[in-house]
Amino acid sequence: MFCLMSLMRPRTYVELGTHYGASFFAVCQAIEEYKIDCFPVAIDLWVGDKHAGYYQEDVYSTFKWIHQNKYSGVGSALRKDFSEAAQDFEAKSIDLIHIDGLHTYEAVKNDYETWLPKVTENGVLLFHDTAVRERGFGVWELWDEIKDKHASFNFTHTHGLGIIALGRADTNPIVALLEIINSSKGSMESFDNFFKLIGERVTGESLAKNELERNQEKFRTLSIFRSLARHARSFLNSR
């Protein structure tokens, strides 16, 4: 997301399906670090669905707390149905949109057809979970239908992420980049693997941090037990 934000420098970013806000806050961070004049909007009902699972109000409360305390003044959140929220945006007003709502074929196709007219002529669309082919996920089906209509690239690692870039190479830098990447199988594999390695490193560092925290908690617990054992032995010896 950082790479895309730095290359595009979009004026408007819309995210359909935000949950805790991992990708949305990555955009907010990129806006601040790269000083991008961009207004990001998170759109979600924050109740979940049959694919993400249904959840309680604490998910939205957590998102809201992070937004207010970490990225105050950066963008906004709309707690609306996607179709309802689309009425708040003019035609060709969105530079970058991330579609990550309900993942059935019918739902994602409706999101695509509803929001495509809202995207600028040189805009970019992201589709999450293009690699998932179970539990009724149908993003991959829509992806197969639209990937050849525009410049595109599909990251195959983890759950998959499809990129569609509108316009021409001389007006959209992402189209130009994708044309270079798609020029050979080798460059496509290298591009995919590059971001796969970055993702694995970030995930690995996160897992290592969590493991360290768990071990530190174990050490603290063990220290308490040892202290109690010493006191117990001291008490027994004194009797």
Per residue of the chain (239 residues), give pLDDT as tens: 888 999 999 999 999 999 999 999 999 999 999 999 999 999 999 987 766 667 789 999 999 999 999 999 999 999 999 999 999 999 999 999 999 988 899 999 999 999 999 999 999 999 999 988 877 788 999 999 999 999 999 998 878 999 999 999 999 999 999 999 999 999 888 888 888 887 777 655 544 445 444 545 444 434 433 444 444 445 345 54
0.75 surpassed by pTM: yes
Same domain, yes or no: 204 and 165: no
Residue 239 has what pLDDT? Answer: 45
Same domain, 90 and 157: yes
Domain with 28, as residue range(s), is 2-183
**CA distances from residue 156 to 126, 132, 138 in whole angstroms, order as listed:** 13, 10, 15
179 and 190 inside one domain: no
Residues 206 and 143 in one domain: no
Same domain, 118 and 200: no
Tokens of 34: 């790269």
Query: What CATH number does residue 113 fall under?
Result: 3.40.50.150
| Same domain flag for 141 and 162 | yes
| pLDDT computed for residue 52 by the predictor | 64
